[in-house]
Amino acid sequence: MERKKSESFNYGLAFTLLLFFIISCIAIYNAQKTGQYSTNFVIKQVEWYAVGIGIIFITMRPDEEQWDRFTWFFYGLNIFILILLIVSPQSIAPVKNGAKSWFVLPGIGSIQPSEFTKISLILAFSKVIRNHNEKFRVRDIRSDVLLVGKLGATLAVPILLIMQQPDLGTALVMIFLFFVMIFVSGVSFKLILPTFTSIIGIASGILYMVLNHPKILEKYLHVQSYQFDRIYAWFDPESYAGSLSYNYMQVLKAIGAGSISGRDTSKFSVYVPEKHSDFIFSAIGESYGFLGTSLILFLFMVLIYQIITVAFHTKDQFSTYICTGVISIVFFHVLENVGMCIGLLPITGIPLPFISYGGSALMSTMFLMGLVLNISFQSKAYMFDQDVR
């Protein structure tokens, strides 16, 4: 029986996380050679990974029923912390780069509460969908609209608080999670298609107005012209090479310099601000080229496949939706971070999961991996118990 229990641990997923740890340390070591800081971020990243491992073991202890009962408490706690962040004095919640998004705690460092709000949203969305589907066995448009309304209400409070900081990057992650959870919840395509079409139409219309008639938006939506600059720099980076698109141009130079197999960065390396965190992908591209970046993307594909496998093996709807939410978070982070580094998407402060330096981001993703490992362990242990019987 002990052998059965040991076999129920997902060693494949754990090995993937180990590879991410090794890659992260190597990438950060290469990135900080030309960084604007004198701190050794590799040591700090190792420390954060150690904390993350502890979080995984803690997260694996409760079973699905306990996480189910804990969901609304965790959600409410995150709302309380977001409110506390807004009202806290700048001595413990300073404004950085125009955003009040971090607590600065003595002896610990900066903690970003919005990173953990994504976890509470995954749990809350999963519980809302599971409970709704159990109550409405026969689905119709009315019940689907009700479900979308419940999910929208669950999203509304945290996203409004996060936009008060403001933190657009995290808000985009949460919105993406919201739509993915709607898509997998069983809502009829008669409701999904017009909703998604309308959103795409509105977004396209706003983008057209930003590019061609910004004065109208400034007048009627009370936005400032500088808020459009990041979009202008995305579409025409050469015109803003010395200012707004400086980071973007430097990232492209670094990735381009790596060519197919990378180059020796010990002699010369392209300077990229925040190369160890938001733009870690450029450090990998410069040091290991197309082959190195392809390996990173392949490893993320392996990770997502492993989580999908866990989702298919569990018989619990709540756990299945949690896995779906985790996949959504990882996928969007990779898509946005890599996309902004190669010019496909505007630059946002979204890190590359498991690889970018950052305590809050790493702890939250390790928390999510702990949930997946928990689900995998519980489902496999259940199957082994069935075999024993």
Burial of residue 243 (CB within 10 Å: 0-12, 13-18, 19+) is exposed
Percent with pLDDT over 70 in the chain: 89
In angstroms, the Cα distances linking 369 to 298, 310, 321, 379 are 18, 11, 14, 15
> How many other CB atoms are found less than 10 A from the CB of residue 44?
16
**Nearest-angstrom CA–CA distance, 352 and 361:** 9
Model pTM score: 0.87
pLDDT at 389: 43
Judged by DSSP in three states, 138 sits in: coil
**Nearest-angstrom CA–CA distance, 353 and 347:** 16
Write the pLDDT tens digit of every residue in 285-309: 998 999 999 999 999 999 999 999 9
128: its two tokens:
């809302």
Q: Which of 249, 265, 259, 266 is nearest to 285 (CA)?
A: 259
Residues paired with residue 110 on neighbouring β-strands, in sequence order: 104
Write the pLDDT tens digit of every residue in 32-64: 877 667 778 899 999 999 999 999 999 988 888
Structure-model confidence comparison of residues 65 and 74, the more confident one:
74
- Which residues, other chains included, contact 228 with Cβ-Cβ below 8 Å and sequence gap of 6+? 210, 214, 217
With tokens 């381009």, the residue in question is 256
- For the segment 244-272, the average pLDDT, to the nearest whole number, is 82
- Which residues, other chains included, contact 379 with Cβ-Cβ below 8 Å and sequence gap of 6+? 310, 313, 314, 315, 316, 319
Mean of the per-residue pLDDT values of the chain = 84
H or E stretch including 105? strand 103-105
Question: pLDDT band for position 388 (50/70/90)?
Answer: very low
pLDDT at 362: 92
Q: Which of 171, 293, 168 is nearest to 231 (CA)?
A: 168
pLDDT at 348: 79
Structure-model confidence comparison of residues 325 and 246, the more confident one:
325
pLDDT at 214: 75
DSSP string, 303-328: HHHHHHHHHHH---HHHHHHHHHHHH
User: How crowded is the C-beta side of 214, counted as CA atoms within 13 Å?
Assistant: 11
pLDDT at 205: 82
Q: Is the pLDDT of residue 201 over 90?
A: no
pLDDT at 224: 56
Question: pLDDT band for position 128 (50/70/90)?
Answer: very high
Judged by DSSP in three states, 244 sits in: coil
Contact 114, 165 (CB under 8 A): yes
Q: Which of 274, 359, 349, 281 is nearest to 98 (CA)?
A: 349
> How many other CB atoms are found less than 10 A from the CB of residue 369?
28
Q: Is the pLDDT of residue 223 over 60?
A: no
**Nearest-angstrom CA–CA distance, 167 and 350:** 10
Least confident of 104-108, 114-118, 140-144, 336-340: 104-108
94: its two tokens:
């300073």
Reading phi first (left if > 0) and then psi (alpha if -120 to 50, else beta), residue 354 is in: left
Structure-model confidence comparison of residues 375 and 199, the more confident one:
375
Question: Which amino acid does the sequence have at 356?
Answer: S
Distance linking the first and last C-alpha atoms of the chain: 11
pLDDT at 284: 92
Judged by DSSP in three states, 1 sits in: coil
